Structure 1
Amino acid sequence: MIAGRYLRARRKEAFISVIASLTMVGVAIGVATLIVVMSVMNGFRAELLTKILGLNGHFTAYPIEREFTDYKDTIASIEKIDGVDFAVYFVEGQVLASGQGSSTGASVRGMDEENLKKLKLLYNSAAQGGWDQWDETRGIGIGYRLAQTLGVSLGDQVQIINPDGAMTPFGSTPQIKSYPVNVIFDLGMVEFDSLFIYMPLEPAQDYFKMFDEVLKPGMQPPATGPLDPPLTNEQMSEYYERIGRASAAEIFIDDPDDIAVMRQRLQSDPSSRPLILTDWQQRNETFFSALQVERVVMFTILSMIILVAAFNIISSLIMLVKDKSSDIAVLRTMGATRGAIMRIFSITGTTIGVIGTLSGVALGLIVASNAETLRAALSNTLGVAIFPPEVFFLSSLPSKTDPLEVTIVVCLALGLSFLATLYPAWRAAQYDPVEALRYE
């Protein structure tokens, strides 16, 4: 009761009440800031992990010892291993893509429709066009940022240039082909939307010469030397069988963190061919380690806001103790113990911390759950790009609140608030009632 009366403002005590109110606001701002920043950083990590592992596998398998012509059998064998969700094979190459007067480097991936459907993130991200009858279209799918860079839309032609073309007496000549844009996808990640070009598997094998021509069983090779007229492609197909190759395979597992166990299973599978495996942690180790370090540093730095608010609790309580010295003396003469005086001022300071912490939690959760809406509103109001996607990789500001981290922030704020009350409360308990009332 007494602690509550000390918290309520009276006219002559307005200044102390203002200090206590500002201290409460400081605690609330510190708690809210910590919750919002940690939620946004969690959102960044989760969204980046979802995008990266939604397109690239948890393992990338590269063939060794022989050409990757048995990719279908290899994928079927890998998908039978316990813990493997699915696997896809693809043809990949680096090219120069040219559109309406603009050119840029790109990465071409050749995949058939069966494998595209396994990549749900990609298959469901078609902003224009669609992946239906993909194998028969002979067109390409590109990210919307790459389409903007090249100045193309659906149906426009994109010229793809590969320096490793046909061999001539004067060396290698660039291979140049044009393909219509059938799909424009939006993955929500700048790096992928501005880099990848998808192509049906067989045209990709043709373009990158990822096939071998093998003499059919029981057939004799056609006569060597000049033929007049030369054999057509249809005639050559009577003698030779074309066997396509893949560049690599992506393997998706059930538990992304179970890398060591799954690597052992994949490498020890007797039915699988020899493969070199690289996992997602190896490919992105530096990036995600930097994110983790940044989270720890930001938490430590922003915790200083709560610490400053705790010092404000100390200063406001010391001022309150000085102002209430005569009240303390009267209470002592009426029989109040030193412990009772300590409890009064501890409850006063802790109440400031509790109200500030609860207000900060409510404010932080509201802001964190509407982070993208607030970012867009501020960007439109100020006319400035806040969190530009070119810098932060993602086209929107993600937020993911972790209940455990919120609990840690609340415990930190309440703990510091309680500790901040101990010294002023102890000083109040040490007041000598005779000295305090001597000049009253």
Structure 2
Amino acid sequence: MRLSHKLPYEWLVGWRYTRAGKRGRRQRFISFISFISIAGIGLGVAALIVVLSVMNGFQKEVAGRMLSILAHVEVTDARGSMPYWEQARAEVLRHPEVKAAAPFMETEGMLVSGDVLKPALVRGILPAAERGVSELAARVKSGSLDALRTGAHQIVLGRELAKSLDVSLGDTVGVAIAQGDALGEGSMPRVQPFTVAGIFDAGHYEYDSTLAFVALDDGEALAGLSAPSGIRLRLADPFRAVPVARALAQNMTGDVRLVPWTLLNATWFAAVASQKRMMFIILALIMAVAAFNLVSTLVMTVTDKKADIAILRTIGASPRSIMKIFVVQGTLTGLMGAGTGVLLGVLFALNIGTIVPAIESALGMHILNPEIYFISTVPSDVHWGDVAAIAGVSIALAFLSTLYPSWSAARVNPAEGLRYE
């Protein structure tokens, strides 16, 4: 690489010092330390890009599995039921970003099979309408969602819930729902038998272990409701759920409450964001250690180049120019490290689906056990904003590490520098 001679001489000298090390044992040692600094910065940048990309991939994968069951927005009435749901459905469908809407009811209950009792969230749906707002029908691995017909008393369970109840297709489970003050002290709720008509697998433990679906009318009868709890919406873009919910709330009639899916899972998203921040800080410390190795490299360079500095000073170079030379040297080192790290990190993150299986095959192990994580591959989603932020932080750390050595170089006395020359 050659720099144009139109550049200021500080850049030319700084670039020359960056490449120093071809002659003399001391210069070779300085060059080796400089290489270690570049490698350290590069590895830190690459590690941070890969880790954040994998975390983004997991977040995207989990969000996708959530949205296979969740609606993008839930619209409910403050009174607990929505007898005017058809009118509300017509209102929300006027919004251009709302693609589908379906009624639902939801209540907490207990499922009984033999001596086993499991708490569950019982949701009543219309199977035909539900296909428009979720991917539940596609997630049903055994049986069919269409079996949920009014009066048939059929139920569709999550995989983990069915496993814990030890039931399969055709078995009977009891569904018990508490109905306010209808139960006296010491009394037991009435248990309604349902036949297992389907088992779904959302790939998300929380939903697979707690959700049960019944026909809408059967659910209303269980909960003692005369109308659905509300309607569930499907949007063109699920990540616009919050602004769309706000817009709908201003135009809908009645005392309605609109809850976007991100708010329903706010705790999970906050935990993921917190983990990403902590990982960024921890891995940034690796870059900081490598960047501050530049301090020792530049201090040794200043000591080795005292005669050069003295000569530059005697021919008119200002202390500010001397500072620039070593700032350029350190910043170029940081740029090379950051560039190398970005290249390696992005290549690894984009090809992680090929690299990780090769590592697993070589080591004879599985990084992710599908029986534990319900996912067998390591996902990756490169966010270029993250890449830019990581590169910027590494370059900034390299620049900060140049300040003391360059200031020290600017203070070199020309007479002292030339004394033994």
Question: Structure 2-normalised TM-score?
Answer: 0.76
Structure 1 pair 36–5 and aligned structure 2 pair: CA distance change class (3 A): closer
Contact 2:368 2:377 in 1 (8 A): no
Residue in 2 that maps onto 1:410: 391
- Give the letter aligned to residue 246 of structure 1: P
Aligned pair 1:312/2:293, yes or no?
yes
Residue in 2 that maps onto 1:225: none
- Give the letter aligned to residue 114 of structure 1: A
- Give the letter aligned to residue 268 of structure 1: N
Q: Deviations over 1:366-397 (max 9, x none)?
A: 4444668749967996979879998x998876
Structure 1 pair 408–66 and aligned structure 2 pair: CA distance change class (3 A): closer
2:197 to 182, 198, 215: 182
- Give the letter aligned to residue 251 of structure 1: L
Could you tell me how far 1:190 is from its partner in structure 2? 1.8
Residue in 1 that maps onto 2:8: none
Could you tell me how far 1:6 is from its partner in structure 2? 0.8
Could you tell me how far 1:148 is from its partner in structure 2? 3.0
Aligned pair 1:400/2:415, yes or no?
no
Aligned pair 1:151/2:166, yes or no?
yes
Contact 1:20 1:313 in 2 (8 A): yes
Could you tell me how far 1:8 is from its partner in structure 2? 5.1
Aligned pair 1:268/2:282, yes or no?
no
Number of residues of Structure 1 aligned to a counterpart in Structure 2: 403
1:79 to 61, 76, 93: 93
1:61 to 55, 66, 75: 75
Taking every aligned residue pair, what percent have the same amino acid on both sides? 32
Aligned pair 1:94/2:75, yes or no?
no
Could you tell me how far 1:70 is from its partner in structure 2? 4.2
CA distance in structure 2 between the aligned counterparts of 1:110 and 1:377, rounded to whole angstroms: 46
2:42 to 20, 28, 47: 28
Aligned pair 1:107/2:121, yes or no?
yes
- Give the letter aligned to residue 359 of structure 1: T
- Give the letter aligned to residue 197 of structure 1: A
Q: Equivalences for 1:285-364 in 2 at 5 Å?
A: 285-329=266-310, 337=317, 342=323, 344-364=325-345
CA distance in structure 2 between the aligned counterparts of 1:60 and 1:389, rounded to whole angstroms: 32
- Give the letter aligned to residue 232 of structure 2: E
Q: Equivalences for 1:195-210 in 2 at 5 Å?
A: 195-210=210-225
CA distance in structure 1 between the aligned counterparts of 2:357 and 2:37, rounded to whole angstroms: 28
Could you tell me how far 1:195 is from its partner in structure 2? 1.0
Q: Deviations over 1:396-432 (max 9, x none)?
A: 7654322122112212222322332343234335434
What is the DSSP-based 3-state SS (H/G/I as helix, E as strand, rest coil) of the residue aligned with 1:80? Answer: coil
Structure 1 pair 379–56 and aligned structure 2 pair: CA distance change class (3 A): farther
Could you tell me how far 1:107 is from its partner in structure 2? 1.1
Higher mean alpha-carbon deviation, 320-329 vs 159-168, is at 159-168
- Give the letter aligned to residue 147 of structure 1: A
Residue in 1 that maps onto 2:155: 140
Residue in 2 that maps onto 1:126: 140
- Give the letter aligned to residue 203 of structure 1: D
Structure 1 unaligned segments of length 5 or more: list them: 212-244
Residue in 2 that maps onto 1:240: none
Residue in 2 that maps onto 1:250: 232
Q: Deviations over 1:199-244 (max 9, x none)?
A: 2323334444545xxxxxxxxxxxxxxxxxxxxxxxxxxxxxxxxx
Could you tell me how far 1:108 is from its partner in structure 2? 1.4
Q: How much is the aligned-residue C-alpha RMSD, in angstroms?
A: 4.3
Higher mean alpha-carbon deviation, 80-89 vs 323-332, is at 323-332
Could you tell me how far 1:141 is from its partner in structure 2? 2.2
Question: Structure 1-normalised TM-score?
Answer: 0.73
Structure 1 pair 146–37 and aligned structure 2 pair: CA distance change class (3 A): same
What is the DSSP-based 3-state SS (H/G/I as helix, E as strand, rest coil) of the residue aligned with 1:55? Answer: coil
Aligned pair 1:160/2:175, yes or no?
yes
- Give the letter aligned to residue 419 of structure 1: L
Contact 1:128 1:184 in 2 (8 A): yes
What is the DSSP-based 3-state SS (H/G/I as helix, E as strand, rest coil) of the residue aligned with 1:6? Answer: coil
Could you tell me how far 1:439 is from its partner in structure 2? 2.8
Could you tell me how far 1:336 is from its partner in structure 2? 8.1
Structure 1 pair 183–133 and aligned structure 2 pair: CA distance change class (3 A): closer
Residue in 2 that maps onto 1:421: 402
Structure 1 pair 84–130 and aligned structure 2 pair: CA distance change class (3 A): same
Higher mean alpha-carbon deviation, 76-85 vs 380-389, is at 380-389
Higher mean alpha-carbon deviation, 339-348 vs 15-24, is at 339-348
Could you tell me how far 1:99 is from its partner in structure 2? 4.5
Residue in 2 that maps onto 1:231: none
CA distance in structure 1 between the aligned counterparts of 2:387 and 2:322, rounded to whole angstroms: 33
Contact 1:44 1:399 in 2 (8 A): yes
Could you tell me how far 1:266 is from its partner in structure 2? 3.8
CA distance in structure 2 between the aligned counterparts of 1:293 and 1:389, rounded to whole angstroms: 27
Structure 1 pair 346–71 and aligned structure 2 pair: CA distance change class (3 A): closer
- Give the letter aligned to residue 195 of structure 1: T
Could you tell me how far 1:119 is from its partner in structure 2? 2.9
CA distance in structure 2 between the aligned counterparts of 1:404 and 1:326, rounded to whole angstroms: 44
| Higher Rg | 1
Structure 1 pair 190–395 and aligned structure 2 pair: CA distance change class (3 A): farther
Contact 1:81 1:266 in 2 (8 A): no
